[in-house]
Structure 1
Amino acid sequence: MLPGNLNGCGCGLACLQAEKVFGELRYLDPRYMEGMEIYSTTLWHLQRDVALSALAQELTEMDLNSPQAWCVAGNCYSLQREHDVAIKFFKRAVQVDPTFAYAYTLLGHELVLTEELDKALPCFRNAVRINPRHYNAWYGLGLIYFKQEKCVLAEVHFRKALGINPQNSVLLCHVGVVQHAQKKTEAALETFTKAIELDPKNPLCKFHRASVLFSIEKYKAALEELDELKEIVPKESLVYFLIGKVYKKLGLTHLALMNFSWAMDLDPKGVNNQIKEAIDKRYLPDEEEFAGEMDIESETFEEATMTDGEDVQLHAAESDESL
């Protein structure tokens, strides 16, 4: 589970539709518990903190012996980044019902967020032991192996999840990431293309494909992808940063400087990008490199505006039209 525009579930419209259906269900039967843990995850991805908090309070007051109620409470505190409390509540859900696979999965993902991978691993294994078709747990196992740089194992588990849920663009995207990590570049591009066909508005898939295109020096194709992505997530600093890198490679210095400047305005320290938690650092800079590059480009930008201000303004106007 990863929040934000680019590294969340990537469900977009599906999440909104699910929220609507669950909301109608709650209206018809406020005491209905089945599926409320999934509803809470939907609210988590959509960052509906008020609605999630209200749901958690209602369900825990209704039935403290329900694993769904504790899962909802755990998701509520997870959204507030109170991970220790969230872990405590997910563990309580497991205690209430040791056969509730989703509780193990939520606990595993929360432990991944706190980088406790060794503790998360058995959680996901318990989930698939209870329910072998619980694709979220297979995805969790793949995520751990990817973080451990065991890319072959990661791909195996991502594909296991994909076999259960073949229409999930996020799972396809993760397969593409591990393929690229194994230097299967053409296969990765094909996988990202399939993922985008399933969900044309999935920003994470488009960003990964643009990043791979940039890494193999297909700069114009990368730029086309990034221009489309900019329309979907106009406030993601690394999108502008990568656009700047592309323009720099193409020798269009002023356009590069303008995009570096926009990226720096969106995130001056280069550390608060939601996207950074989801990207493969093999083809994008780490935190320090990003901030350092931004400082260098900022200085160059200031020099350029002093020596060739009219040209910079012209390109700025052209770029504004494309936003």
Structure 2
Amino acid sequence: MLRIAAIAALLSASLYAQDPAALCEAAQQAVHAQRPEEAERLWRQAISVSPRYFPALFNLGLFYESRQQFSDAIPFLVRAAEISPRDFNSHYLLGACYQALGHGDDALRAWRTALGLNPKNVRLLQVMAVEYTKGRYFQDAAETARRAVDLTPDDPNAYYLAIKSHQDAGRYPEALEIAARAVSRFPESARAHFEYGFHLQKVGRVEEALRELERSMALDASYEEPPFFYGDLLQQHGRYEEAVVFLRRAIANRTDYVPARVALSKALMGLKKWEEAILELNEALRFDPRHPQPHLLLSQVYFRLGDEQRARQEKDLSLKLRRENPAALEAVQGRNFPAR
């Protein structure tokens, strides 16, 4: 009887070792018991028994992804997605692994497939909009972010992402329309009024823009962007004394705000307060020493002060920095997402 029982036990173990479902079940139990090496071995064993067994492929990919072993996860998730092409999670996780490794186009291809399976997944839409922007696929980012807004009209962050995506795509009238919707939906939001004001001035409606920026400042006095853009608008229209007040307020809210210091220096130059302008430009360079614009403005100040040698030095340095970093003063150009 003992011999028969031993034979039965060996037979049972042998059958177990050939059953991918049983091996996957054991792997899950090993994970719950915090025995990851055992779980990994069991999933691999299940795959060796049945190379097209989807649960083992997917779960081993998920296991590696959760441990940030993205390169290890990808082959298993690719195979899982091929075997079960309508499984959303396989495509989504595959995209997440590619994205973590810096392969943005591959991530977007996987996510586009996932989105086709679940077109109302707002989180995925928002992640894709951000990744499209990183790749300079601005038109795709705008379309994707717009879909997220339409699906979640009560999420303010969806509006702000869509506004920025349309701005990057150069679609300012649409950005303005989304910003107007945001103000209507969130009338107590300083950010919503700021975005609306910013895009009103983009389409030339300056007085309306100033009023919206005033509302934003009234709602949140610590928010640095509204006083900066308000002051910069005043500076651009020659209202230098007023501009200085708001630009100093923006800098008080954020001392390393280089664009505000540059705009303040322009207002001070308009008032012929040359020494104060020099101080602000040097502060801007302290925070961003490789930005060419402060050097260009310093060259103009020194020229006005009659110091031609310093003016020439600053201009030459500005040109050198611009050659080294052309993106500092030039708009980033968009491109189309590749078909393959």
* Shorter-chain TM-score range: 0.5 to 0.7
1:274 partnered with 2:301: no
Whole-angstrom CA distance in 1 between matches of 2:101 and 2:135:
8
1:1-323 superposed matches below 5 A: 50=102, 65-268=120-323, 272-274=326-328
Which consecutive segments of 4 or more residues in structure 1 shift more than 6 A? Answer: 51-58, 60-64
> Using a 3 Å threshold, how does the CA distance of structure 1 residues 121 and 74 change in structure 2: closer, same or farther?
same
Whole-angstrom CA distance in 2 between matches of 1:134 and 1:80:
30
Whole-angstrom CA distance in 2 between matches of 1:237 and 1:49:
32
Segments of structure 2 that go 5 or more residues without pairing to the other structure are: 1-65, 67-99, 332-340
Q: Which amino acid aligns with 1:272?
A: P
> Using a 3 Å threshold, how does the CA distance of structure 1 residues 275 and 140 change in structure 2: closer, same or farther?
farther
Identical counterparts, % of pairs? 17
What CA RMSD, in Å, does the superposition of the two structures yield over aligned residues?
A: 3.2
Aligned residue number for residue 336 of structure 2: none
Q: Which amino acid aligns with 2:326?
A: N
Whole-angstrom CA distance in 2 between matches of 1:203 and 1:68:
33
Q: Is the 8 A contact 2:269 2:301 kept in 1?
A: yes
Q: Is the 8 A contact 2:129 2:165 kept in 1?
A: no
Local SS of the residue matching 1:166:
coil
Tell me how far 1:50 sits from its aligned partner: 4.8
Of the two structures, which has the highest relative contact order with CA contacts closer than 8 Å and spacing of 6 or more?
Answer: 1
- Which deviations, in whole Å up to 9, do the C-alpha atoms of 1:114-159 show, x marking residues without a partner? 3322222221122222222333332222112212332211111112
Tell me how far 1:215 sits from its aligned partner: 2.1
Tell me how far 1:167 sits from its aligned partner: 0.2
Structure showing greater Rg: 2
Q: Which amino acid aligns with 1:108?
A: I
Tell me how far 1:53 sits from its aligned partner: 9.5
Tell me how far 1:49 sits from its aligned partner: 10
Aligned residue number for residue 37 of structure 1: none
Q: Which amino acid aligns with 2:316?
A: S
Whole-angstrom CA distance in 2 between matches of 1:254 and 1:95:
58
> Using a 3 Å threshold, how does the CA distance of structure 1 residues 234 and 159 change in structure 2: closer, same or farther?
same
Q: Is the 8 A contact 1:49 1:76 kept in 2?
A: no
Q: Is the 8 A contact 1:158 1:175 kept in 2?
A: yes
TM-score (norm 2): 0.59
Whole-angstrom CA distance in 2 between matches of 1:213 and 1:161:
25
Whole-angstrom CA distance in 2 between matches of 1:127 and 1:141:
8
